[in-house]
Amino acid sequence: MLGLPDAIRGCLFDLDGVLTKTAKVHDAAWTEMFNSFLSEWSRATGTQFVPFDPVKDYEQYVDGKPRLDGARSFLASRGITLPDGHEGDPPGAHTVNGLGNRKNQVFLAKVRSEGVEVYPGSVRYVHAAGDAGLHRAVVSSSANTRDILAAAHVEDLFEARIDGIVAEREHLHGKPAPDTYLAGARALGLEPGAAAVFEDALAGVEAGRAGQFGYVVGVDRLGQASALREHGADVVVRDLSELLEQR
């Protein structure tokens, strides 16, 4: 009834875009931060201002990646090299950490003002997985995962949480590397082949395939079903409720 192979014993869920609708908030925060920086950079260097594309640039360079990796990836696409700086750099600093802190500042302000919405079909699926006796964990690159789960009132649905804080503490590489999903499987006491990965980001689907997980579900929120399959999804759905309807 869950649309999964019989060998699956646990589910590893991405957060933004799979469980919660914070992906659009992240996108808006990245867009606001990068456009502010690019405008400053244009004035300082005398180069043309080309705004951040909230669809193409977001999908290709930052979606699903740890915050600093996303910043570096996009900057590299524009031929911009900034020093990494330090974790405590102020949001206005022209360093990778400074831009990351600026993005997080914008994101948290939007969460506080707009709240956190969940995908009802995903919450139904997580409940159904628990009722079927499957283990459940959240795997996200966000350092704000705990706060987002609490704001969405779904933190009690999961046995384990692998997030940006855990990744930094344990020196785990971010998606598309499989490290964080492998850590999620270990936290549930499972081998990768006994776990299913649920992802909406291309980097996340690629991580699920690279980790040789038992099943990779691509969640198509952005009309990129073909790309999700190309990156390794075994099945692509628009909403997890579709898996509950399979017989």
**Structural domain spans, the chain:** 10-22+117-244, 24-114
- DSSP for 208-227 reads HHHTT-SEEEEE-SSS-HHH
**CA dihedral angle for residue 216, residue 217, residue 223, residue 228, rounded to 10 degrees:** 10
* 91 CB-contact burial (10 Å; exposed 0-12 / middle 13-18 / buried 19+): middle
Residue 84 bears catalytic tag: no
In the chain, the N- to C-terminal Cα span, in Å, equals 6
Place of tokens 């919450």: 123
CATH of span 10-22+117-244:
3.40.50.1000
Q: What is the pLDDT of residue 246?
A: 65
* Amino acid identity for residue 131 in this structure: D
**pLDDT, tens digit, for every residue of 70-127?**
999 999 999 999 999 999 999 989 999 999 999 999 998 988 888 889 999 999 999 9
Q: What is the pLDDT of residue 26?
A: 87
Distance from chain centroid for Cα 220: 13
Q: Show Cβ contacts of residue 44 under 8 Å, excluding neighbours closer than 6 positions.
A: none
* Amino acid identity for residue 80 in this structure: I
Residue 16 bears catalytic tag: yes
Q: Do residues 10 and 196 make contact, with C-beta atoms less than 8 angstroms apart?
A: yes
Cα(184)–Cα(99) distance, integer angstroms = 28
Beta bridge partners of 217: 198, 235
**CA dihedral angle for residue 61, residue 66, residue 69, residue 70, rounded to 10 degrees:** 30
Q: What is the block-wise mean pLDDT of the chain (247 residues), using blocks of 10 residues? A: 95 95 88 97 96 93 88 96 96 95 93 88 97 97 88 93 94 94 98 98 95 98 94 97 82
Q: In terms of DSSP bridges, do strands 160-162 and 195-199 run parallel, antiparallel, or are they unpaired?
A: unpaired
- Report H helices in 54-119: 56-57, 67-77, 96-114
Q: How many helices (H) and strands (E) in the chain?
A: 11, 6
Q: What is the pLDDT of residue 24?
A: 82
14, 57, 220, 234: which is the annotated catalytic residue? 14
Beta bridge partners of 20: 16, 118
16, 57, 220, 234: which is the annotated catalytic residue? 16
Residue from 158, 160, 161 nearest 145 by CA: 161
Q: What is the pLDDT of residue 158?
A: 98
